Structure 1
Amino acid sequence: MSPAAGRWGWVAGIAAAVLLVAWSVKGLEFQGIQETAKVMSKAMIKGLLHPDWKYVWLPEGEDLIRNLLMTLSISYLGNIVSMIVCIPLAFWAAANMSRSRLVSGSGKIVLSVIRTVPEVIMAIIFIKAVGPGAYAGVLALGVHSVGMLGKLYAEAIENMDMGPIEALTACGANRWQTLAFAIIPQVLPDFMSYALYRFEINVRSATLLGIIGAGGIGTPLIFAINGYSWPRVGIILLGIIVTVSIIDYISGSLRRRIV
């Protein structure tokens, strides 16, 4: 391709992107801010800037600390479920673990189907099946994370060095010995790093699932929003921000040490 053709290609791509943005903006319906919205916005901002600190700890009932711990428990258990279930699926989907592309391809399709369904939809399904609460949240996060972690685990297996496997096979090792001494030591650091990263995502997702009734901090958050209790909303959002930031820092540090 000539330099002139390459430049025209870049120009055409930029023009197409600009036209797409213009078309998207044109499809939006911008509405003016009404007086009621102005009043509510003032109350909202005032409440968010003056959080309800009493809600941090309530001896007689549920409070911010208890609900945040429940959210972390839902995220952790969902992550454990997905870490265990996705391992055989990852080996099924890894191209270098089977002789037929049809076998690995079918595994990839299964993982794609699982992760296509959003956590919210899965939570609604499980809420209908087992009732509202933390159990439905754990199932929703666990099943959805299987699709995401399974894909990452399969890629880690496909990218590993096949030399140790071939060496053990040449020495007469069986499949279980090859798995224990050649495959697991190579992929385990990646597996742990991906699991920690998925846990970070699950902490955020668990907050959203609580809004629709799957337990955790999202439940009191939606109640506070519906009741226009903006100081309560402010302290809950502050608690979520602090918790997620701490989890991100700890998880990032652990992933750097593992990798």
Structure 2
Amino acid sequence: MTELKLPNPPAQRRWGKVLAAVIFIGLVIWAFTGMPAFSIKANAVMVTKSIGDGLIHPDWAYVWTGDGEDLTSTLLETLGIAILGTFISAVISLPFAFWAAHTKHKFWLVTRSGKFVLTAIRTFPEIVLALMFIKAVGPGSFAGVLAVGFHSIGMLAKLFSEAIENMNGGAGEAVTAAGGSALDVTMLASLPQLLPEFVSNTLYRFELAIRSASILGMVGAGGVGTPLIFAIQTRSWPRVAIILYGIIVLVTATDWLSGALRKRLV
């Protein structure tokens, strides 16, 4: 029996793979050359022991003190920032979503401009937005709400627009054929299809907003991040530990509740 020989890949394809490998290796080497030399400070062991001891022995007295600055109060403030920021962004995202959905416009420039605006909004990190709003309205939870809400518009409107683009138009055509008006098409065909996607995406964004609101306090935007950065600066590791445990409980409970709601509503 004669052995079948597979044809060799074209030379152009081989050289393309070699070039891609060389570029990849070059990028990895270039990235490592920019890293500082690896070194361990003399007090690294002592600091590590202090952090570990703080994590094992958290400051349980800080859970509730009644002065409005304890862990429970700041966690509730963080939750409020996430709820208000998500609600504001969900309402404002709807017109942006219809603006950016390509199925709703005949002119490509309208859709492109909408998608460009959403991309521009998502470009700004929440920390930067929080610093900007702090300068505008002052430090506190209101700046955190504005930062979370503004940043969430770009992501929610993008998800909403994709849901609009993927919507089945057959139901709307059936309502129109039966003599329905544009309002009837919206209420009887479009909303029943879009509402589950809107609810699911909003709940998912709320989960992310909880994490974001926990960090924004480090720059003065309210929430549990404010006492966390103070505790880190003063090296109060037991206080840091109980705050981190509180954030874990809040995020875990939010994820569980959000998942349960999505199963029931979607």
The residue type equivalent to 1:138 in the other structure is: V
CA RMSD of aligned residues (A): 2.0
Describe how 1:1-16 pairs up with structure 2 within 5 A.
4=9, 8=14, 13=20, 16=23
What is the CA distance between 1:252 and its match in structure 2?
2.1
Change in CA separation of 1:72 and 1:26 when aligned onto 2, cut-off 3 Å: same
Asked if 1:192 is matched to 2:196, the reply is no
**Amino acid in structure 1 at the alignment position of 2:59:** D
Question: 1:230: which partner in 2?
Answer: 237
Determine what percentage of the aligned residue pairs are the same residue: 51
Cα shift at 1:13: 4.2
Work out the CA distance in 2 between the residues paired with 1:251 and 1:45.
32
The TM-score with structure 1 as length reference comes to 0.92
Letter in 1 for 2:259: G
Q: How does 1:145-156 map to 2 (within 5 A)?
A: 145-156=152-163
Q: Give unmatched runs, 5+ long, in structure 1.
A: none
Letter in 1 for 2:107: S
What are the ranges of 5 or more consecutive residues in structure 2 without an aligned counterpart?
Answer: 1-6
Q: How many residue pairs were aligned? A: 258
Q: Which residue number corresponds to residue 57 of structure 1?
A: 64
2:106 aligned partner = 99
Q: Which has the larger radius of gyration?
A: 2
Q: How does 1:170-189 map to 2 (within 5 A)?
A: 170-189=177-196
Aligned-partner Cα distance in 2 for 1:63–1:11: 59
Deviation at 1:31, TM superposition (A): 3.4
The 1-side partners of 2:52 and 2:167 are apart by 52
In 2, distance between residues paired with 1:232 and 1:244? Answer: 18
User: What is the one-letter code of the residue matched to 2:96?
Assistant: L
Distance 1:17 1:183 in 2: 47
- Determine the C-alpha separation between the residues in 1 that align with 2:187 and 2:8: 53
Q: Equivalent of 1:209, from 216, 220, 226?
A: 216
Residue in 2 that maps onto 1:122: 129
Distance between the aligned counterparts of 1:14 and 1:49, measured in 2? 47
Q: 1:110 aligns with which of 113, 117, 126?
A: 117
Instruction: Work out the CA distance in 2 between the residues paired with 1:125 and 1:77.
Output: 19
Mapped to 2, the partners of 1:33 and 1:150 lie a distance apart of 46
Deviations 1:125-166 (A, max 9, x none): 110111000000001100110111000000000001011112
SS at match of 2:221: coil
Q: SS at 1:214's partner residue?
A: coil
Q: Deviations over 1:181-220 (max 9, x none)?
A: 1111101100000000000100000011110000000000
| CA distance in structure 1 between the partners assigned to 2:143 and 2:129 by the alignment | 9
* Alpha-carbon distance between aligned partners in 1 of 2:17 and 2:80, rounded to the nearest angstrom: 49
Cross-structure match for 1:38: 45
